Amino acid sequence: MNGLELAAVRIALHGRPLLGPLDVRVRPGTTVTVMGPSGCGKSTLLAFIAGTLEPAFTAAGAVRIDGDDVLALPPERRHVGILFQDDLLFPHLSVGDNLAFALPRTLAGRAQRRAAVAQALAEADLAGFEGRDPATLSGGQRARVALMRTLLAAPRVLLLDEPFNRLDAALREDFRRFVFDHARERSLPVLLVTHDAADAAAAAGPLIEL
Amino acid sequence: MSVPRRAAALAWLALVAVLGAGAAHAQEGNWNSIAAKARGQTVNFNAWAGDEKTNAFIAWVGSEVAQRYGVTVNHVKLKDTAEAVTRVVAEKAAGRDRGGTVDLVWINGANFVTLKEQGLLFGPFAARLPNYRYVDTTSVRSNVVDFTLPVDGMEAPWRRAQIVFVYDAKRVTAPPRSVPALLAWAQRHPGRTTHPAVRNFLGATFLKQALYELAPDPAMLQRPATDANFAAVTAPLWTWYDALRPSLWRRGEQFPENGPAQRQLMNDGEIDLMVSFNPAEAAVAQAAGQLPDTARTTVFDRGTIGNTSFVAIPYNAANKEGAMVVADFLLEPATQAHAQDLRQMGNFTVLDLARLSPSDRKRFDDLPRHPALPTNAELGVALLEPHPSWMTRIAAEWERRYTR
Amino acid sequence: MSESGGALRALPAVTVLLFLLPVAAGVAGTLLPAFGYLPAIGGHALSLEPWRRLIAYPGFATSLGTTLFTGVAATLVAVVLAAGFCAVAHGRLARTAGAWMAPVLATPHAAIALGVAFLVAPSGWIARALSPWLTGWTLPPDFATVGHRSGLALVLALVLKEVPYLVLMIAGALHQVPAAAQLNVARSLGYGRTEAWLKVVLPQVYPQIRLPVYAVLAFSLSVVDVALILGPGNPPTLAVLAMRWFADADIRFYFPAAAAACLMLLIVITAIATWRGVEAGVARLGRRWIARGTRRGVASLAAAAATALAVAGGAASVLAIAGMLLWSFATQWRFPAALPDGWTFATWARQSGSLAATTATTLMLALAATVIALALAAGCLENEARTRRRAGTRSLWLLYLPLLVPQIAFLFGAQVLLIRTAQDGTFAATLWAHLVFVVPYVFLSLADPWRAVDPRYARTAASLGASPWRVFLRVKLPLLRGPLLVAAAVGFAVSVGQYLATLFAGNGRVATLTTDAVALAAGADRRVIGVYAVLQALLPLAVYLAAVLLPRRRLAQRTSAVGRA
Contact A91 C185 (CB under 8 A): no
Question: In which band, very low, low, confident or very high, does the pLDDT at B6 lie, cut at 50, 70 and 90?
Answer: low
Burial environment of residue C55 by CB neighbours within 10 A (0 to 12, 13 to 18, 19 or more):
middle
State the Cα angle at C78 between C148 and C397, rounded to 5°: 115
Whether residue C330 contacts residue C344, with contact meaning beta carbons closer than 8 Å, is answered with yes
Tell me what the mean pLDDT of segment B150-164 comes to.
91
Please tell me which of the candidates C200, C291, C295 has its beta carbon nearest to residue A100: C291
Tell me what the mean pLDDT of segment C332-341 comes to.
86
Chain C contact for A82, CB < 8 A? yes
Closest CA to C526 of C229, C265, C158: C229
Quote helix, strand, coil % in chain B, to nearest 5: 50, 15, 35
Cα–Cα dist C364/C382, whole Å: 27
Mutation pick from C90, C185, C198, C284 vs chain A, by most beta carbons of A within 10 Å, is C185
Q: Count of residues for chain C?
A: 565
Cα–Cα dist C468/C470, whole Å: 5
> What's the alpha-carbon Rg for chain C, to the nearest Å?
24
Phi then psi dihedrals of residue B394, to 5 deg: -60, -45
Please tell me which of the candidates B96, B269, B270 has its beta carbon nearest to residue C419: B96
Tell me what the mean pLDDT of segment B365-374 comes to.
86
User: In what side-by-side order are the strands of the sheet with A16-26?
Assistant: A16-26, A4-13, A57-65, A68-69
Where along chain C do its domains lie? 1-32+346-565, 65-215+274-344
Cis peptide bond prior to C235, omega within 30° of 0: yes
Question: In which band, very low, low, confident or very high, does the pLDDT at C498 lie, cut at 50, 70 and 90?
Answer: very high
DSSP for B231-288, please give it. Answer: HHHHHHHHHHHHHHGGGSGGGGS---SSHHHHHHHHHTTS-SEEEES-TTHHHHHHHT
Question: In which band, very low, low, confident or very high, does the pLDDT at B10 lie, cut at 50, 70 and 90?
Answer: low
pLDDT at C251 over 80: no
Pairing of strands A80-83, B104-107: unpaired
Cα–Cα dist A19/A3, whole Å: 22
Q: Which fold has domain C65-215+274-344?
A: MetI-like fold (1.10.3720)
Question: In which band, very low, low, confident or very high, does the pLDDT at C562 lie, cut at 50, 70 and 90?
Answer: very low
Weakest-pLDDT range from B279-288, B304-313, C39-48, C476-485: C39-48
**Amino acid identity at A51:** G
pLDDT at C350 over 50: yes
**Amino acid identity at B210:** A
- ipTM value for the complex: 0.84
Cα–Cα dist C73/C79, whole Å: 10
pLDDT in tens, A100-139: 999 988 888 889 999 999 999 999 999 999 999 999 999 8
State the sign of the Cα–Cα–Cα–Cα dihedral B107, B111, B113, B118.
Answer: negative
DSSP for B8-41, please give it. Answer: HHHHHHHHHHHHHHHHHHHHHT-HHHHHHHHTT-
Chain A contact for C560, CB < 8 A? no
Q: How many CB atoms lie within 10 A of CB A105?
A: 12
Q: How many CB atoms lie within 10 A of CB C281?
A: 9
Tell me what the mean pLDDT of segment C415-426 comes to.
75
Instruction: Kindly report the pTM of this predicted structure.
Output: 0.83
> What's the alpha-carbon Rg for chain B, to the nearest Å?
23
Question: In which band, very low, low, confident or very high, does the pLDDT at B3 lie, cut at 50, 70 and 90?
Answer: low
Tell me what the mean pLDDT of segment C439-456 comes to.
84
Cα–Cα dist B30/C471, whole Å: 69
Tell me what the mean pLDDT of segment C206-216 comes to.
92
Distance set, CA C303 to CA B42, B110, C92, C193 (Å): 59, 56, 17, 11
Weakest-pLDDT range from A196-200, B223-227, C92-96, C517-521: C92-96
- Considering the four listed CATH numbers 3.30.230.70, 3.40.50.1000, 1.10.3720.10, 1.10.10.10, the one that applies to the domain covering C1-32+346-565 is 1.10.3720.10
Contact B87 C508 (CB under 8 A): yes
Closest CA to A52 of A88, A92, A87, A81: A81
Contact C291 A55 (CB under 8 A): no
Whether residue A80 contacts residue A49, with contact meaning beta carbons closer than 8 Å, is answered with yes
Cα–Cα dist B318/B97, whole Å: 9
- Residue B157, SS3 per DSSP: strand
The subunits that touch chain A, with at least 3 C-beta pairs less than 8 Å apart, are C
Q: What percent of chain B has pLDDT over 70?
A: 93
Residue C284 is predicted with a pLDDT of 93
Domains C1-32+346-565 and C65-215+274-344 share a fold: yes
C221 alpha-carbon distance from chain centroid: 13
Contact C523 B253 (CB under 8 A): no
Chain C contact for A16, CB < 8 A? no
- Residue A26, SS3 per DSSP: strand
- Residue B278, SS3 per DSSP: coil
Whether residue B388 contacts residue B312, with contact meaning beta carbons closer than 8 Å, is answered with no
Whether residue C498 contacts residue C458, with contact meaning beta carbons closer than 8 Å, is answered with no
Whether residue B361 contacts residue B353, with contact meaning beta carbons closer than 8 Å, is answered with yes
Tell me what the mean pLDDT of segment C355-378 comes to.
93
**Amino acid identity at C215:** A
Element (H, E) at B45: strand B42-48
Portion 312-331 of C in contact with B at CB < 8 A: 331
Portion 224-253 of C in contact with B at CB < 8 A: 232-235, 244, 246-251
Cα–Cα dist C555/B322, whole Å: 56
Q: What percent of chain B has pLDDT over 90?
A: 47
Question: In which band, very low, low, confident or very high, does the pLDDT at C162 lie, cut at 50, 70 and 90?
Answer: very high
Tell me what the mean pLDDT of segment C251-262 comes to.
89
Cα–Cα dist C538/C530, whole Å: 12
